[in-house]
Amino acid sequence: MLSFDDVTRVFHLDEDTSITPVRDVTMEVKQGEFVIIIGRSGTGKTTLLNLAAGLVKPTTGRVAVGGNDLARMTQKQLSVLRSEKIGFMFQFPSLIPALTVKDNITLPALFSSRKETDGIEARATRLLGILGLESKINVHPKQLSAGETKRVVLARTLINEPQLVLADEPTSDLDEKTEKEVMALLRDVNSKGVTFVIVTHSLQLVPFATRAFEMENGTLSLMRETVRT
């Protein structure tokens, strides 16, 4: 589903200074896996996720989704990939403030080549029902709590039924109870065959993973692997 083949990413800050947040990373994520990457702030987790979404190109190495090398894809192909096959949960508040919850959730459908407007509306309502947010469908993001915001972001991520979900700190800013609820939701979606790659600094999420990696100084090492029965 997602593969990193000896990927390095270097950012040049100026002529003399550069940083390498991702260094020689090789990883293969299979369909239906629930991968968690643990690491402290500044270890390159977000860059790794951006590489997986094609938001950043690797300096060396190859990143592929579904066997397609992202660096060789055109902007148009990348847009289609991001709107139809990849769901992205950002670490920062990423809902569009001017739009209602429903409009935020259905937003990715605007960029999808699949034209099913009626289906999208119904799916948005169903997702909000599953996430317990039916009453919030017409409110604006500023009226939501942190937990509700995360759930709305999750609904937006899932609206186009992606095959791969990339989540950056999906439970940050959440209390313990809400964190567990959100993770349970993610696992529930995962159980339907959707692949997850989550980066977080929270060790408490490790038990949810089929495989957990640790990221330090841009390199990745396997921490734990769980065989699901």
Q: Which helix (H) or strand (E) holds 105?
A: helix 101-106
Q: By rule CB under 8 A, what count of residues binds other proteins?
A: 32
DSSP string, 163-202: SEEEEESTTTT--HHHHHHHHHHHHHHHTTT-EEEEEES-
- Contacts (Cβ under 8 Å, ≥6 apart) of 188: none
Q: How many CB atoms are closer than 10 A to CB 134?
A: 11
Q: How many CB atoms are closer than 10 A to CB 145?
A: 13
Alpha-carbon distance 172 to 102, whole Å? 23
Look at the block and give the residue holding tokens 């993973």. 209
Give the range of 23-31, 79-87, 193-201, 221-229 binding other proteins by CB under 8 A.
79-87
The residue among 87, 85, 86, 53 whose CA lies nearest residue 70 is 53
Q: Is 47 in the site for other proteins (CB under 8 A)?
A: yes
Q: Which residues 155-184 are close enough to bind other proteins by CB under 8 A?
A: 156, 160
Q: Are strands 2-12 and 18-29 parallel, antiparallel or unpaired?
A: antiparallel
Q: Which residue among 17, 41, 75, 135 contacts other proteins (CB under 8 A)? A: 75
Q: Which residue among 24, 90, 139, 161 contacts other proteins (CB under 8 A)? A: 90
DSSP string, 193-206: T-EEEEEES-GGGG
Q: Is 202 in the site for other proteins (CB under 8 A)?
A: no
Q: Which residues 91-130 are close enough to bind other proteins by CB under 8 A?
A: 92, 94, 96-99, 103, 106-112
Give the range of 63-71, 87-95, 190-198, 211-219 binding other proteins by CB under 8 A.
87-95
Give the range of 85-93, 128-136, 144-152, 212-220 binding other proteins by CB under 8 A.
85-93
Q: How far is the CB of 25 from other proteins (least distance, A)?
A: 16
- Helix 146-158 vs helix 176-190: angle between axes, to the nearest 10 degrees? 10
Q: Which one, 111 or 217, has the nearer CB to other proteins? A: 111
Q: Is 83 in the site for other proteins (CB under 8 A)?
A: yes
Contact 61, 7 (CB under 8 A): yes
Q: Which one, 110 or 222, has the nearer CB to other proteins? A: 110
Q: How far is the CB of 56 from other proteins (least distance, A)?
A: 4
Binding site for other proteins (CB under 8 A): 46-47, 50, 53, 55-56, 75-76, 79-80, 82-84, 88, 90, 92, 94, 96-99, 103, 106-112, 140, 156, 160
